[in-house]
Amino acid sequence: MNLFIFATVNHWLIKSEPFKYSWSQFEKDQSTFWDGVRNYQARNNLREMKIGDLCLFYHSNEGKEVVGVAEVIKEHYPDPTADDEQWLVVDVKPKMKLRNTVTLAQIKSDSRLSNIGLIRQGRLSVIKLSKEEFNIILSLSEN
């Protein structure tokens, strides 16, 4: 009988325009609440996030590349920047900066990632990833 309980770690990709909030600012802050989500699907993804979940940090618009990995350190609570209680944030902290960034072009050109939410639903700002997709992107950053 196995008495160990293995937490299920989920994987995500979160987008930020570096002009608004960049990875380097994130590293300076050491943690932040992920605010400004005003889309139901993205909100639902935030609600699913658990402590210890890992998020790829993607720079949209400028850069268009994955730059680091963040870890969820506090589960969802109402977005302090919203007037409406229905919008949520989670707290995240930087876990690891990628040795090399992984560009959208690289992701698009990798056949193993052809079904990734980042491409399928380009406008969604909080995207669920499979463990495989997450690991493939990390491996691309090692090249």
Task: Give the three-class secondary structure for 102.
Answer: strand
Q: Which of 31, 40, 112, 115 binds DNA (CB under 7 A)?
A: 40
Q: How far is the CB of 143 from DNA (least distance, A)?
A: 19
Only one of the segments 45-53, 80-88, 114-122, 133-141 lies at the binding site for DNA (rule: CB under 7 A); that segment is 114-122
Closest approach of DNA to the CB of residue 104, in Å: 5
Which residue from 62, 22, 63, 42 is spatially nearest to 121, judged by alpha carbons? 42
Does residue 125 belong to the site contacting DNA (CB under 7 A)? Answer: yes
Candidate segments 1-9, 27-35, 77-85, 102-110, binder of DNA by CB under 7 A = 102-110
Question: Does the protein bind DNA through residue 108 (CB under 7 A)?
Answer: yes
- How many residues bind DNA (CB under 7 A)? The answer is 18
What ranges make up the beta strands (E) of the chain? Answer: 11-16, 32-33, 54-59, 65-78, 88-103, 126-129
Closest CA to 58 of 47, 49, 69: 69
Q: Does 41 interact with DNA (rule: CB under 7 A)?
A: yes
Q: How far apart are CA 11 and CA 15, in angstroms?
A: 14
Q: How far is the CB of 125 from DNA (least distance, A)?
A: 4
Residue 20: exposed, middle, or buried by beta-carbon count in 10 A (0-12, 13-18, 19+)? exposed
- Residue 35 within binding range of DNA, rule CB under 7 A: no
